[in-house]
Each structure stands twice: as C-alpha cells, then as structure tokens.
Structure 1
C-alpha cells in the first residue's frame, strides 16, 4: 500500500496533461472541426519531430532547425532577463532601503510600469532596428518590474528588530544590507525572478513576431501565414516547455540558496 501511494504521488502530476491530450486527440479525430484548423496532438508531435530532427521534411524549410530557433529565442531571453535582474535588484534594494531614493525614483518608475511592454515595439524598432536588440529590450521591460517590486517588498518587510540588533553590534549600512537585509529579501526576490522569467518568454515571442526574423516566435507567426497550424502548436508547446524549464532552473537555485528556509518549513511541519 505505501508503495502504491508513493507511485501515485510520482504520477499524479501527469494526470491532468494526459487527460487534456486524450480529450484533444478524441475531439480532433471526431470531425467536429476540420483537421487543418485543430490538428490532433499526434499530428503536432509528428511536425514537431521533423522540426527538431528533420525526420521526413514535412515542415519544409524549418525541418531540423528547431535547435537553432530555440537557441535564438533563449539567447534573447537570457540577455534581457540578466540585465533586468541586475538593474531591478540594485534599484529595488536602493528604493526599499533609502527613503530619499524612494521619493526621487519610485514615482517615475510607477508611471512607466502600467505602460504595456508591447506598446514599446515601434520605438524599439526605431531605436534598435530589426535585430536582436529590440527583442532584448522588450524582454528587459517585461522582466524588470516584477523583479523590482518584489525586491522592494522583500527589503521593506525585513524584520526591523534584526536591523537594530545588527546596528547595535557595530554593523554599518553595507554590513546590514549584506548580512541581514538581502538574505531576508531573497524569498521575495526569487518570487520576482520566477514571475519575470515567464514575462521574459512572453515578450521575446511577441518581439520575434514583429521585430526579429528568427526564433520560436518568428516560426509561430510565419507558420500561421502558411496555415501550418500543427507547426504553430508545436512552437507554442516549445515555448511552454522552455518556460517550464527556465522556471525549474530558478527553483533549483532557490532551493539551494534558501536551504535554511526549507529546513525551517520542515521543522515547523514536524511540530
């Protein structure tokens, strides 16, 4: 019985995806919609396989090019996300720690924050042209504000008693930030990173549809024009998979960095 329960717990995460795929396959095969408009998962998988491995050339010019398209999108995501992380964490810590910096900078940032990143596309194209730079810029915009706001929240909610205790034993501002404030803010910062990486993938695909001529988003949009909806869905699945893996990577780093939080949670649960 315990072995069966353990097996179920390992497989329970796959129940919903399997049910969705089975229902989708059955609906596509039922003929309720033309197969060209809603390709079955098996059809999408066949096109995806050719896109990745070049099995039979059914995706034509994209046959065997998935790795190049994936790396093009991934490089833009990582570049924009890295810039957003470095700047957002630095500015967020400054705003959360200093009332003066908050008064000077935050109103401007809060004015820019509601502007949708996609509305920057015309300016990005004018400023950077049709290349990687506008996509990286849009990824940066999409990831910056979630990381910034979560960093500010993490710094502001740090236990003031810990800060006072550190100051009483002679800690200066730099020591307080390094050894007390930043460790306390890390859970919020990682939450912002997880939100930011999702936004980064959404924005790079949007940019590739308009301002770039390569990557998963470009393949998705180009396939739409040629009515290859199986390839459109394969591109969507690729983006979803890469987004999941990116989030999984951040969670691995978070589990390693915040090991003390996991131990505290386990001990609280045991109590």
Structure 2
C-alpha cells in the first residue's frame, strides 16, 4: 500500500513536469532551427547561461549585471513587500468596516468604486511628481495594485458571514467588537487569503512596471535596461525570475493560509462525512 502511494506521487510529479519540459524542448529546437535569429529568440540553454552569470558571476557574459541577481531581487522584493504590507493592513481594516457598517459603506464605497477602474500604471506620472525617482513611487504603485483585491475580498468575506453565528454570539452577550474579532474576522479569513493571493501577483507586476520607469534598480530595471542593449537572454531571465518570485510569494501565502485555516479543513471533512 505504501509503495503504491509512493509510485502514485512519483507519477503525479512526472505528470506536472511533462508540459514545462515539452515547452522547453520545443523552444530549444525552434531557437536552433534558424527560423529567427538567435539574438531575437535565445534558446533556453543560452538564457540559463546568462542567468547563471547574473546570479553567480560565472563568466562575466552579462557584464555589469554579473553576480548582482541577489541585490536586484532584494531591491524588488523590498518594494513589493512594503506596498503589499500597507495594502494588506488598510485593505483588511477598511474592508471590515465597509462590510460591517452600512453607514461606512454609503460614505466610502462610491469613492472607492470610482478609483478602482483607474489602472495603477496611469498613476506613474503623479507618483514621480509626488515622490521623485526612488523607492516611494514603486511602493505607492504596488500599494494601488494590491489594495483593491484585498479590500473587495474582505468585504465579500464579511458580508457572507453566517448570520446565525452572529445571532448566537449576540444572544451570548457578545458586543459588536467581540463579534467582529471572534466571529466575523475568522469567517472572512478564507476570502481575505484569496484576495491576498491575487494581490501579491499584482504587487510583483506593478513593481516591475515601476522599476522600468521610476526606479534605477531591481529586476524590472534590469529587464528594461538589458532591452536597450539587445540582451534578450537577460530579458527572458528577468521574466523567469519575476515569475519564480511571484510563484514563491504565492506559495508562502498559500502555506500560511493552510496553517491558519486548519479549522476549515476539519469542518469540510465533517461536512463530507455527514
């Protein structure tokens, strides 16, 4: 039985790798076929060599970027997590208030609904005017891009809280503050974490956009700078780095949510058994 389970897990891992491996092989073959010049579509092997030098300074083929990958990632990650942290705190707090109080909803929601369709990228000129060429405009744009997913998910979680639980809590003598803290907030957490996972992806997209325009460091800056020097292998390595960092950030939130929401898995299993 144990052996069968191990084989099943092994086959599933192979199954997950089939499509990525097939894409890499097809990309390598197409790049070496000569249909396009190698400089325009570098092969995965060439991208890997450039990426290795960017990370480990293996042979200096990436020139000024050689060995600077960790510094570039740290610069981008600091902007992402600063803007993401601000949007998380404000989005959850405001979402709880709007979802709980109809008065707050009537006062604030119209303004938020007007601002929400405005693309965060359109704020770049104002962000540069307000904050200059530095970290602040990037953090501001990350905040704008990740704020609304957290806010709307929190509002949804609060509004879909089981009213029977609220009635039971009120009958037990719970004050509005206690109801919010012990019933509404835990009930809204699954929706909140869904919003956080969407927000972290937006945060990485926006920090790269900001680094292309308003900042002179980070993975996004390397991507844009290497484009000017026709180093498309570094451009692709930057894109892969961004995707990997976004994936790891989302995975961290997913694992944290799994630990926090253990009670949800238990209740789901009980519901299935019933």
Q: Quote the residue 1:187 is aligned against.
A: 190
Cα offsets for 1:60-107 (capped at 9, x unmatched): 000000000000000000000000000000000000000000000000
Query: What is the RMSD computed on CA atoms of the aligned residues?
Result: 1.1
Deviation at 1:269, TM superposition (A): 4.7
Q: Kindly report which structure 2 residues correspond to 1:58-207, keeping only aligned pairs within 5 A, or say none.
A: 58-207=61-210
Partner of 1:243: 246
* Cα distance, 1:14 vs structure 2: 1.6
Gaps of 5+ in 1: none
* Deviation of the 1:267 alpha carbon: 4.0
Q: TM-score, normalised by structure 1?
A: 0.98
| Counterpart mapping for 1:225-264 below 5 A | 225-264=228-267
Q: Matched residue pairs, number?
A: 271
Given candidates 217, 221, 225, the residue that maps to 1:218 is: 221
Q: For the structure 1 residues 269 and 229, does the alpha-carbon distance in structure 2 shift closer, same or farther, using more than 3 Å as the test?
A: farther
State which of 17, 29, 32 in structure 1 corresponds to 2:32.
29
TM-score by length of 2: 0.97
Once the two structures are TM-superposed, the CA of residue 178 in structure 1 deviates from its matched residue by 0.6
Residues in 2 aligned to 1:165 and 1:270: alpha-carbon distance in whole angstroms: 25
* Distance in structure 2 (CA, Å) of the matches to 1:120 and 1:256: 37
Distance 1:193 1:74 in 2: 16
SS at match of 2:15: helix
- Structure 2: segments with no counterpart, 5+ residues: none
Distance (Å, rounded) in 2 between the aligned partners of 1:137 and 1:200: 10
What is the CA–CA distance in structure 2 between the aligned matches of 1:219 and 1:66, rounded to whole Å?
Answer: 9
